[in-house]
Amino acid sequence: MAASRLFVAISARALASAARTLTLPQLRALVVLDTCGPVRLTALAATLGVNPSTALRMAERLTAAGLVDRRTNPANRREVLLSLTDAGGDLVSTVLARRRAEIRTLVERLPAEERAALVPALRALTAAAGEMAVEADPAPRTVADVL
């Protein structure tokens, strides 16, 4: 639990330092859009584990903030597609860079032996959770990879 609180606190500090009044769930939605590209509203809701009406309200707030673009899906006019605006992409990049920097600083404080043991342990934990791997230079992914 302490490690969980640490990572949430790091994310919250990184988000706050970007001078935005966004919540961590909204940041998570932006990260999904950044990772997956244009996404149907229903797929975003499923990925976030919320109902579609919650995802719609979140998308409306993010659209009003200029971070998300909502468009009708040209392949199915009944669907809404969501994508990041340039400002949304910049915000995600800034927040994630600040989060990585803080984590890097913490990891560098560990003795080399503990640091070496940390990587396989965290990989095993994320694999057990079914989280997608994040590489140094990630390739674009689809929502199916996130679900």
pLDDT tens figures, 27-38: 999 999 999 889
Quickly tell me which residue has 């468009």 as its tokens.
71
In sequence order, the 6+-apart residues with CB closer than 8 A to the CB of 147 are: 43, 46, 47
Q: What mean pLDDT comes out for the span 85-101?
A: 94
pLDDT computed for residue 141 by the predictor: 46
pLDDT tens figures, 79-88: 889 999 999 9
The rounded distance, in Å, linking the Cα atoms of 93 and 87 is 10
pLDDT computed for residue 20 by the predictor: 66
The rounded distance, in Å, linking the Cα atoms of 21 and 129 is 29
Task: Tell me what percent of the residues of the chain surpass a pLDDT of 70.
Answer: 87
Q: What mean pLDDT comes out for the span 109-132?
A: 85
Q: What mean pLDDT comes out for the span 104-129?
A: 88
Instruction: Give the model's confidence band at 19: pLDDT under 50 very low, under 70 low, under 90 confident, else very high.
Output: low
User: Which parts of 23-133 are beta strand (E)?
Assistant: 39-40, 68-73, 76-84
Decide if pLDDT at 77 tops 90.
no
* Closest of 43, 9, 44, 42 to residue 26, by C-alpha: 44
- Quick one: tokens of 24? 């961590």
The rounded distance, in Å, linking the Cα atoms of 36 and 131 is 14
Q: What mean pLDDT comes out for the span 94-113?
A: 92
pLDDT computed for residue 75 by the predictor: 85
CB atoms within 10 A of CB 18: 17
Task: Tell me what percent of the residues of the chain surpass a pLDDT of 90.
Answer: 51
123 strand-pairing partners: none
* Closest of 40, 90, 51 to residue 67, by C-alpha: 90
